[in-house]
Structure 1
Amino acid sequence: MQMQIMQINEETMGSREIAELCGKEHRHVMRDIENLNDTYVEMSLPKVGQCSYKADNGRTYKEYLLTQDHCIDLITGYSREIRIRINRRWKELEQRVAEPVVQIPQSFAEALQLAADQAKQLELAAPKVAHYDKVVDRHTLLTATQVGQKIGLSAVMLNRVLDEIGVYNKALKRGRAFKQWFIDKGLGEMKQTDMGYSQPLFSLKGEAWVVERLASEGAA
């Protein structure tokens, strides 16, 4: 299974990540951005820039890179929940600028090694039972994008891995849903968004489980 790890530009946010955060299809976000660009042209304002990325199938596709102003203009018409989610993401990106530069894994093997190192640090900090049952706040939920950032994977690539190890229900043709065992163990929950989408969200316990599982896959 070949995977490509892309470095996130800390001054822009990609349209694919916006689609993930908003629970929308990327093509719909692209359409909204193109409509926004038409308005920018009419107002003599800078348009949203674009780049390309190489997908797992080897083909190259277009993607837009939005500044914070672009994001605010784009999502103003979306739901309150989406605006809050995007605003929180921008705070994370701004915080990165002030922090020391962290080396981004350049291969899937390096990402697994990073996951193994993080899992080892968790073991040294406290016993697993204490970490899962005492330290973890089970009510804090994370998107696949947020979980993937901890190990240098995009949401798309992380979801492919989780598909392979049986976390998601492959019987669904559209969208993703956790299998019942994953929910029963408190590793994730299905939440309904304001847009009417059912979105899988990870608990912090689920995030720790993913990190440890990927580490064990890399050691196998």
Structure 2
Amino acid sequence: MGNLELIKETMSSIEIAELTGKPHNDIMKAIRVMEPAWEKVQQGKFSLMFKIRELPNGGHKEEPYYELTKTECLYVATKFNDEARAKLILRWEQLEKERRNGNFQVPSSFKEALLLAAHQQEEIENQQKQIEANKPKVLFAEAVSTSQRCCLVSELAKIIPQNGVTIGQNRLFAWMRKNGYLCNKGQCYNQPTQKAMELGLFEIKKTTITKPDGDIIVTTTSKVTGKGQIYFVNKFIGKED
């Protein structure tokens, strides 16, 4: 295609971290926190990608990162401090200036224009294929991001549907009882079974409440551990170990 070059239209969260001097994990957390509002307004999520990092033992690890448009970058930057936000804005201005000054060459013929259009369409299709292929990984990564704390079954019921697996709170409770993760009768109804506890999928929190008349009530709350969140997400997306 000669000297024709595609314009760089996105910036990765890795580049943003390097530019602003912030840890990449902090940038990822900021993006995840802001994504629900963006999805509600724009009817679409940010583009989550994965890169392969080689490990010292010879293995490899998939690490998530985001590819953001200029508009998405500036939206996320509203959470940054003034200095970091200024660096990001100036970097986008620099990229646009470089583009205007010749980094992007205008097609000199109809044939070159067609080739450029075909190349751009191919890039878009390849990116879409990667997004589709990564859907289960997206959900898995989101589950891992929540695994630092335990959550209620009702919260897990909100995590699972985020990437296409439809299930509500009541159906999830019923599924867990049917498959032997929660007790289905008696005083232990909806509490973890011995099997689930041995697998480390749940923890039980007991709260003591003293009533005005002096009576003491002990309430039991079942919470899904970080390991349990990943376990159940993998169950529903078909990525069991």
How does the TM-score come out when normalised to structure 2?
0.36
More strand as a share of residues: 2
How does the TM-score come out when normalised to structure 1?
0.39
